[in-house]
Chain A
Amino acid sequence: MKDDDRVIEISNVSTRYGAHVVHTGLDLEVRRAEIFALVGGSGSGKSTLLREMILLQRPDSGSIRVLGVDLQDLGADETLALRLRWGVMFQHGGLFASLTVKENIGLPLREHTGLEDGLIDEIAAAKLAMTGLKQEVGAQYPSELSGGMMKRASLARALALDPELLFLDEPTAGLDPDSAGGVDELVRKLRDLFGLTIVMITHDLDLLWQVADRVAVLGEGKVLGIGSMAELSRMDHPAIRQFFDGPRGRAAQEQEEQQAAAPAGTKIKEPPSKPK
Chain B
Amino acid sequence: MKALSLAPAAIAQPNPQNLALSGSWTARGIGAIEGQLEALHLASRTELVADGARIDALDTAGAWVLQKLLLRLRGEGMAVSISGLRPEFAKLLEAVGQQVGAQSDTPAADARPRASMLGDVGRAAERAFEQTVALLGFVGESALALAGCIAHPARFRWRPMLYNIRSAGFDALPIVGLLSFLLGVVVAYQGADQLRQYGANIFVADLIGLSMLREFAPLITAIIVAGRSGSAYAAQIGTMAVTEEIDAMRTLGIAPLEVLVLPKLLALLVALPLLTVFADVLGVFGGMLMARAQLGVGFVEFLDRFVKAVSITAYLIGICKAPVFAAIIAVIGCFQGFRTKGGADSVGRQTTRSVVQSIFLVIVADALFSVAFSALDL
Contacts and interface: CB of A to CB of B under 8 A. Distances in A.
Nearest to A159: B60
Nearest to B27: A113
A127 B61 CA distance: 10
A interface: dominant SS: helix
Contacts of B59: 161-162
Contact of B2 (A114, A123, A126, A164): A164
Interface in A93-117: 97-98, 109, 112-116
Interface residues of A, number: 34
A224 interface: no
A185 interface: no
A244 B31 CA distance: 51
Nearest to B346: A97
B345 A122 contact: no
B91 interface: yes
Contacts of A85: 2
Interface stretch (A46-54, A139-147, A175-183, A227-235): A139-147
Greatest chain B CB density within 10 A among A123, A125, A135 is at A123
Contact of A162 (B61, B99, B103, B345): B61
A141 B30 CA distance: 29
B157 interface: no
A126 B343 contact: no
B347 to A, nearest CB: 10
A170 to B, nearest CB: 18
A210 to B, nearest CB: 22
Contacts of A139: 111-112
Nearest to B95: A193
Given A97-B345, A113-B31, A115-B31, A123 B1 contact: no
A173 interface: no
A135 B64 contact: no
Contact of B99 (A130, A141, A159): A130
B10 to A, nearest CB: 15
A164 B61 CA distance: 15
A164 B342 contact: no
Interface string B88-111: 100110011001101100101001
A27 to B, nearest CB: 27
Contacts of A97: 342-346
A143 B99 contact: no
Contacts of A98: 343-345
B106 A162 contact: no
Given A139-B111, A143-B341, A162-B60, A122 B26 contact: no
Nearest to A163: B1
Contact of B103 (A129, A142, A193): A129
Contacts of A113: 27-28, 31, 61
A193 B91 contact: yes
Nearest to B91: A193
Given A162-B1, A164-B2, A194-B1, A143 B27 contact: no
A1 interface: yes
Contacts of B346: 97
Contacts of B92: 193-194
A109 B27 contact: yes
A112 B342 CA distance: 28
A143 B341 CA distance: 8
A119 interface: yes
Contacts of B26: 162
Interface in B71-96: 88, 91-92, 95-96
Contacts of A141: 342
B39 interface: no
B28 A112 contact: yes
Interface string A123-155: 101110110000110110111000000000000
Interface in B307-366: 341-346
A272 interface: no
* 8 shortest interchain CB distances as A-B pairs: A97-B343, A162-B59, A114-B31, A143-B342, A98-B345, A113-B27, A126-B99, A1-B2
12 contacts: A97-B344, A98-B344, A113-B27, A114-B31, A122-B103, A125-B108, A126-B96, A126-B100, A129-B102, A141-B342, A159-B60, A164-B2
Interface of A: 1, 81, 85, 97-98, 109, 112-116, 119, 121-123, 125-127, 129-130, 135-136, 138-139, 141-143, 159, 161-162, 164, 193-195
